[in-house]
Amino acid sequence: MLYKTLSAAVYGVDANIIEVEVDVSGIKMQEGHFHTVGLPDAAVRESRDRVRSALKNCGYDIPPTQITINLAPADIRKEGSGFDLPMALGILGAYGGLNKKEIPDALFVGELSLDGSLRGVRGALPIAIEARRTKVKRMIVPEVNAREAAMVEGVEVYPVKSLLDVIHYINSGNGISRMQVDTAQLLSQAQRLHVDFKDVRGQQTAKRALEVACAGGHNILMIGPPGSGKTMLAKRIPTILPPPTFEEALETTKIHSVAGVLDARAGLVGWRPFRAPHHTISDAGLIGGGAVPRPGEVSLAHNGVLFLDELPEFPRNVLEVMRQPLEDGTVCIARAAMSLTFPARFMLASAMNPCPCGFHNDRTRECHCTPPIIQRYISKISGPLLDRIDIHIDVPAVNYKEMRSTSDPESSARILERVVRARDIQLARFSSQCEKLYCNAQMPSQSIRKFCELSADCERLLERAMAQQGLSARAHDRILKVARTVADLDGTPQLETKHIAEAIQYRTLDRTFWA
């Protein structure tokens, strides 16, 4: 007898609906045969042992017959343990253990324990999105994945704890309550952060540079001695970034769900992600990879911030693979079996010491590094990568008076107001563009020429800076983008010399080491 159920396979950050076809023969054998076809991976093939034990421990003794399971379409690779539940239901249905002859309007995912209880799976959110697209009405998922899947409107999500719960639900139509969530409330709760710029004493220039970076979505590099507050400043960047829209939160949550790093209690990544990998990370860990490619740190930072501390300590090959995502906002990973594209539109924040000992140009401590040693240290970061970083800013050590000052520093909330105001100006500016742009950092060359017109004074200032510092064409475009953001923060439609001058001052490494 043949029985069919629906499930889903995650492929990259998207899902495909899979039809699980179970056929059992009436011929009894000395030992039952359980065969799975349709490009299953090792975890799917091993499901036969989990399914048999789970059914047995739930009181269903399967006769020793030939069981063939086909996962269709057969040309899509199936991986993971989420097919356990639909396989078990298909076997029960084929043997007549279910009241319904078929269940065409419901999708099942879940990993079975040997006692019949259900464990969570990766990718519940992209599966729910695909279920909505293909007009599947219901999803039956493990309880731990229910909140995440319920974020998608248009699909009824039912949380279950065990195989017996699912069987009872199918046979009687009751016993399980539908999971419902208030997405607006979850989003507002998830956006509460526990750090603030008012905790940072001094560093007014660095704070201004970070405000400009967040207002325009620009990449930033902070250079300063140990203990000057670079990491402290970086960790507060998400507090002055515009809150994500619900669509952005869903997009980010989908990546975290596929990677298996989503907090099941929250169910939604409602804040701008802040990822800070250690400098020993591999290129595959940063960009993504594996036999079946998984998202890397650049994709987990999508719509948020990727912070690289001690930038020169990262291996050269690891830093160079970031060129594509910094330019295109996507990562394409090609393997023999498949080629996948992951989203990776993030703001790069990085920090470094000015020299190996960290005290070059420090007013209070002596540096023992020679100029060639300093040059070799800085040269670990390639020129093309530096060109892709819009803002380079010095972060000097904080003096005693600033640390002990009784005046309250400006809070993140006040800075955020100005950033949001500048972003609104940019969204209005780019609303008529064919290409969807969200901030000044994403402007292509034609948009730079259109929205960054220069007066004669601005032209002379920029030309002089280009000649004196030996800036590249890419650096020229970065200066104009940053100047446009500075003007937006001022609420000025036309670029002025002060905006160009401030943008030029944010090219510290060009001025100090490469001129």
Tell the burial category of 274 from Cβ atoms under 10 Å away from its Cβ (0-12, 13-18, 19+).
Answer: buried
- Pinpoint the alpha helices (H) of 139-229: 143-149, 163-172, 183-190, 204-216
Distance CA 385, CA 320 (A): 7
Answer yes or no: is 435 within a domain. Answer: no
pLDDT at 513: 45
| Confidence at 189, pLDDT banded by 50, 70, 90 | low
Residue 214 shares a structural domain with residue 349: yes
Residue 42 shares a structural domain with residue 15: yes
Answer yes or no: is 453 within a domain. Answer: no
Residue 358 has pLDDT above 60, yes or no: yes
Answer yes or no: is 455 within a domain. Answer: no
- What size, in residues, is the chain? 515
Which CATH number goes with the domain that contains 218? 3.40.50.300
Count up the domains in the chain and report the number. 2
Residue 265 shares a structural domain with residue 212: yes
Residue 144 shares a structural domain with residue 231: no
Q: At what angle do helices 473-490 and 204-216 cross, to 10 degrees?
A: 100
Which CATH number goes with the domain that contains 122? 3.30.230.10
Answer yes or no: is 50 within a domain. Answer: yes
Answer yes or no: is 503 within a domain. Answer: no
Measuring CA to CA, which residue among 309, 301, 206, 191 is closest to residue 239? 191
Q: How far is CA 10 from the centre of its chain?
A: 16
Distance CA 142, CA 119 (A): 6
Model confidence pLDDT, tens digit, residues 455-468: 999 999 999 988 88
User: Under a CB-based contact definition with an 8 Å cutoff, are residues 306 and 318 in contact?
Assistant: no
> Mean pLDDT, to the nearest integer, of 491-498?
92
Q: Which structural domain, as residue segments, surrounds residue 107?
A: 2-172
How does 235-271 read in b/e, with b if 16+ C-beta sit within 10 Å?
bbbbbbbbbbeeebbbbbbbbbbbbeebeeebbbbbb
Model confidence pLDDT, tens digit, residues 265-323: 778 888 899 999 999 999 999 998 877 788 999 999 999 999 999 999 999 999 999 98
Model confidence pLDDT, tens digit, residues 406-417: 788 889 999 999
State phi, psi for 215 to the nearest 5 degrees.
-65, -35
Q: Which of 385, 418, 451 is the last residue of a domain?
A: 418
Model confidence pLDDT, tens digit, residues 90-111: 999 998 889 888 888 899 999 9
Model confidence pLDDT, tens digit, residues 422-451: 999 999 998 877 677 888 998 888 889 889
Answer yes or no: is 297 within a domain. Answer: yes
Q: Which of 418, 434, 454 is the last residue of a domain?
A: 418
Q: Which of 172, 198, 221 is the last residue of a domain?
A: 172
Residue 124 shares a structural domain with residue 203: no
